[in-house]
Structure formats: structure tokens, C-alpha cells
Amino acid sequence: MLVLGIETTCDETAAAVVERSGDGPGKILSNVILSQVGEHAAFGGVVPEIAARAHVEALDRIIAKAMADAGTKFEALDGIAAAAGPGLIGGVIVGLTTAKAIALTQSKPLIAVNHLEAHALTARLTDATPFPYCLFLASGGHTQIVAVLGVGDYVRIGTTVDDAIGEAFDKTAKLLGLGYPGGPQVEQEALRGNPARFALPRPMHGRPEADFSLSGLKTALRLEAEKIAPLTDQDVADLCASFQQAVAETITDRLRAGMRIFRERYGAPTALVAAGGVAANQAIRKVLHRVGFESGSVLVAPPPALCTDNGAMIAWAGAERLALGLTDSLDTPPRARWPLDEVAKQVQPASFFNRPHSGNAAQAEP
């Protein structure tokens, strides 16, 4: 099964072709990603209008390169997948509309993928991880602990009550005058800093539920920075190290609670899976390995390139859904907000694409 995946939910224009064969790991035939960091750097964050225009200008050639790199043609594809949300609505519209056009002209099934579901299923692409597993999803816009019970079957165990972890990293970088994107900048500065210099809080520590809170930590960091302003380079490094350490210890505590809740409800998970851009942070990866070891679970963390936004994860999620006969109609709307635990409720098998069609597309069996 060959599926083209298109990702345009934020500031990466991406397309990929992935092959799914049986229950084993998938094969990435191409994975092309164009970052818009340069376009947004001057603003210290993603500007939605600029992002949408950049997607319009780049997407056709990114898809063409993905197809060429994969050595395949549209007629050989079994489905066209695109991230239909959540994300910046302008960008989502660009990717989903393009996918609809290809699906229509090539008479191929359309799979409207939830961007978060794509992150959730990446461990099956890379490691063929069996269900059920516990997912720690952490990115610029999302921080969740999720029970992944099957394709389209997700139960949120914990979430952030305010800021996402990636967002907190980016805002910390902006506060300290570091470059964009902020997460990698904070991680780099932390390498030469003293994590014990500033006594920052560990929000929600010890609570039985598995939720996160980052706004108080950000405020505490700002107050510490104001006390010692103007900041030297060493002050910045120490603040970054102290902040990263606080986040790592918060993740440790919250994940322990999440894994306990998972076991109480569903038994032992097959793995602890990390996904999202924050999972690329090496200090946080060490924490995840520790929690996994303590709980008797293997840690599955995809390569950093597959933790951030990419087309391969969209293509794979599309292939997983297509294998179950889950396709979408051409009037499927783009969504700025789309909680992961609502994915199953949105499935509406499309009558047009469920009937035989021309071309080489294999007919997916439920």
C-alpha cells in the first residue's frame, strides 16, 4: 500500500510517500520538508498569513519532489492523505485542498488525518509498536498523555491546563533574547548553565491526576530574570538550565502519574511512546528513558526528524486508516481545533471513495 502524505498545519511544508505492508514497520520512500523558519524569525514566532502564503508557493514542488524521490507516479498510489487539523487554518486549507484535488483527478481515496493522530501512530511506522501503548505527546501547541488503544481509539489521560511545553520553551527563549525557534536555543544554552542556580517551581508535582501546568514556571523564570537584569551570557545559560531542569522533573512526575493511571485502567502498556518536537530534546529523552525503565516499559522515541512535523507521519496515519477502510469525502472540512480523543467520532466512510474506482489503487478491506 502506497500513500502520499501532505503536512501544512504550521510552518513546515512537507510531503512524503510511505509504504505499508502487513503489520510490520512501514517504509519511508520519500520525506521532503521545507522549513519556514527564515520567514518567521524576524517576528519571533509563526505568522499565520505568512505561513499560508508560503505553503501555497511551495507545496506543488514539494509534492513533485516527494513523488520523484519515491520513484513513483500518482497512478500507483493507493490513497492521498493530508493533515486536516488541528493547526493554523490557512495552512490546513492549503494542504487539504491540494489533497482533495489530487484525490479527485486521480480517483484515489482521500484520508483526512488528524495531525495529533499522525504523531500518535509514528511509533508504528518506525517500530511496529503494538497496541495498547502510552503516548507522551509534547510540542509547541500540545502536551498530552494519551492511551493509544487502536487506530482511532484514543483516551486522554492528562493534558496541560495552560501552556504547552514547547510553547513554554519558545516563550522562555523570547524572554531571554534568544533566537527562533526557541526550544533548540534553550537546550543549547542549558548545556553550559548551572541547573541548580535558580529555585524554580515544579508545577502540579505530586498530584494524583496526570495534568500539566507551565504558566507559573514561566512567570517564576521572568521574575528571576528581572531580579538580576541586565543579564550576562552566564545568567542566560543558568536560567535556561534551571528552566529545562524544572521542566524535566515536572515531566518525570506527571508521566509517573500517567503511567500509573494507564496501568489501572488498561493494564501494562506495550511501550511508552514519545512524539512531538519536544521529544527531540536530549535532556527530556533521558527523563523518558528513566520513566520507561522504572515502569518496566520500553521507550519508543522516533528519530528527531520524525518527531517534528513531517509528511511521513501523515502518510502513515493515512495508510493505517485506509487499511481499515476509513476514508473521507471531498467535503471534509479543515479544522483549526480537533482534539485527538474526538477522532473516532469524526469518521464518516465516504460512499464515493468506497466504491470501485479506476487506477492501480488497492481496495482497502475493513
Q: Are residue 296 and residue 332 in the same domain, yes or no? A: no
**What percent of the chain stands above pLDDT 70?**
94
Domain hosting 171: range is 131-304
How many domains does the chain fold into?
2
The residue behind cell 518567521 is: 40
| 357 has a pLDDT exceeding 70 | no
pLDDT tens digits along 103-145:
999 999 999 999 999 999 999 999 999 999 999 999 878 899 9
| Same domain for 247 and 116 | no
Determine, yes or no, domain membership for 365: no
* Residue 62 confidence (pLDDT) above 70: yes
Considering the domain architecture, whether residues 24 and 99 belong to the same structural domain is answered as yes
Residue 109 lies in a domain: yes
Domain identity same for 215 and 253: yes
Residues 280, 318, single domain; the answer is: no
CA–CA separation, 317 and 247 (whole Å):
30
Q: Is the same domain home to 99 and 143? A: no
With cut-offs at 50, 70 and 90, classify the pLDDT of residue 344. Answer: low
Task: Report pTM.
Answer: 0.89
Instruction: Based on the fold, state whether residues 39 and 182 are members of the same structural domain.
Output: no
In a domain, residue 339? The reply is yes
Residues 171 and 297 reside in one and the same domain: yes
CB 2 within 8 A of CB 80: no
With cut-offs at 50, 70 and 90, classify the pLDDT of residue 46.
Answer: confident
Q: Domain end: 278, 304, 330, which one?
A: 304
Is the per-residue pLDDT at 361 higher than 80? no
**Residue 86, preceding peptide bond in cis (omega within 30° of 0):** yes
Residue 80 lies in a domain: yes
Looking at the structure, tell me whether residues 232 and 111 fall in a common domain: no
Classify residue 60: in a domain, yes or no.
yes
Asked whether residue 362 is domain-assigned, the answer is no
138 neighbors 164 (Cβ within 8 angstroms): yes
Strand ranges for the chain from DSSP E: 2-7, 12-19, 27-35, 79-85, 110-114, 133-138, 143-150, 153-159, 272-275, 299-300
In a domain, 359, yes or no: no
For residue 202, being part of any structural domain is answered with yes
What CATH number is associated with residue 210?
Answer: 3.30.420.40
> Which range has the worst mean pLDDT, 87-91, 123-127, 177-181, 217-221?
177-181
- Say if residue 223's pLDDT is above 50: yes
The one-letter code for the residue type at 310 is: N
pLDDT at 56 exceeding the cut of 90: yes
